[in-house]
Amino acid sequence: MAVRARGLSLGQRRAVWAYIFLIVPLLFFIGVRFAPTLFAMSVSLFKWDILSPTKPWLGLQNYETLFADKVFWKSLTNTLLYVVLSVPLELVFGLTFALLLQSAARWKGFFRALYFIPFVTSTVAISWVWRWMYEPTFGPLNKLLAFLSLPEQKYLANPDQALPSIVIAIAWQAVGFYIIIFLAGLEAIPADFYEAAKIDGAHAWDLFRHITLPLLNPTIVFLTVIGTINGIQVFTQVLNMSFQGTGGPLDATKSLVLFIYQQAFRSFKMGYASAGTVVLFGIILLITLIQLKVTTRRVEY
């Protein structure tokens, strides 16, 4: 390799350029992502009220209070419910409509765009539209039930129905994304696989069960993980759809992130809220590790 001026080899000169290009981005990732992570962990060990000048050290007391807090446990189980209810709904409807679209001879692009519209629309606007649809006295859903002579429902005002009602709005908005990703996954499956199986006398269900589903496995894992992580972080829909944005009725819809938000920005207990975020981080970390384990053990077909 030719040695140039200033005694640097060509490779070294390029390495210097690499470092120059990386300075600003590295400062960003350290300053805005990494350091705040450590800072949040340390804040969780203090009684940190943004308005008060003293921030006394508490040790693990925030965590003890958190684990004794009924509302925290309620919001944690609610969050689990959001995930457990929304992810299967999104997967099943996403895959069903992706399969239908793939078999459609015409209008494929039209329907694909139609299903995708909610996904690109503002979640806040959609939450309010659904809230108005669920409105017990004048909303169209109860009007429809009344028309069919079925008992009218309270939806968001009923502690038993409120969370599932929000889940429906969430899944309705997300399903277009699942369809698109499933479609891309389906298109990656070589057509000869189906041809060969058909020659062997396989029926539609066999094709789905033994070719489509196993080959879609990476897509299903990817979407399950994305869906789970999004579900754990549910916030916007709950804030906008629950009465006065408090996660009611009776904390029935309160998610973990809404709980954290209220502690930090309504009660200004930054330390206590940070303890909540550390728990959230732990859960997401666990899921990511499980995902890594599942995806690195990928089977070759």
203-222: contacts with another protein (CB under 8 A): 203-204, 207-208, 212, 222
Residues 259-298 that bind another protein (CB under 8 A): 260-261, 264-265, 270, 273-274, 277-278, 280-281, 284-285, 288
Q: Does 181 bind another protein (CB under 8 A)?
A: yes
Q: Does 245 bind another protein (CB under 8 A)?
A: yes
Residue (of 144, 153, 143, 127) closest to 235 by Cα position: 127
Give whole-number Cα distances, 254 to 53, 57, 261, in Å.
31, 29, 11
Residue 32 phi, psi (nearest 5)? -100, -20
Q: Does 24 bind another protein (CB under 8 A)?
A: yes
Given the rule CB under 8 A, which of 35-43, 59-67, 74-82, 155-163 is the region that contacts another protein?
35-43
Considering the complex, what minimum distance in angstroms separates the CB of residue 265 from another protein? 6
Q: Does 73 bind another protein (CB under 8 A)?
A: no
Q: Does 68 bind another protein (CB under 8 A)?
A: no
Distance between start and end Cα atoms, the chain? 45
- Which of 40, 71, 81, 220 binds another protein (CB under 8 A)? It is 40
Residues 96-115 that bind another protein (CB under 8 A): 97, 99-105, 107, 109, 111-115
The residue type of 151 is: P
CA distance 44 to 66: 11
Considering the complex, what minimum distance in angstroms separates the CB of residue 250 from another protein? 20
Give whole-number Cα distances, 245 to 127, 197, 254, 261, 271, in Å.
11, 54, 9, 11, 22
User: Do residues 169 and 126 lie in contact, with contact meaning Cβ atoms separated by under 8 Å?
Assistant: yes
User: Do residues 141 and 133 lie in contact, with contact meaning Cβ atoms separated by under 8 Å?
Assistant: yes
Considering the complex, what minimum distance in angstroms separates the CB of residue 81 from another protein? 18
Angle between the N-to-C axes of helices 270-296 and 35-43, in degrees from 0 to 180, rounded to the nearest 10 = 130
Considering the complex, what minimum distance in angstroms separates the CB of residue 120 from another protein? 5
CA distance 182 to 192: 19
Give the nearer residue to another protein in terms of CB position, either 53 or 160: 53
Residues 115-154 that bind another protein (CB under 8 A): 115-126, 128-130, 132-133, 135, 137-138, 140, 143
Alpha helices in 29-107 (DSSP H): 35-43, 61-67, 70-103
Give the nearer residue to another protein in terms of CB position, either 113 or 196: 113
Q: Does 61 bind another protein (CB under 8 A)?
A: no
Give the nearer residue to another protein in terms of CB position, either 56 or 160: 56
- Which of 1, 5, 18, 199 binds another protein (CB under 8 A)? It is 18
Considering the complex, what minimum distance in angstroms separates the CB of residue 226 from another protein? 8
Q: Does 76 bind another protein (CB under 8 A)?
A: no
| Residue with token string 């080899």 | 9
Give the nearer residue to another protein in terms of CB position, either 27 or 250: 27
Residue 171 phi, psi (nearest 5)? -65, -40
User: Do residues 141 and 153 lie in contact, with contact meaning Cβ atoms separated by under 8 Å?
Assistant: yes
CA distance 280 to 276: 6
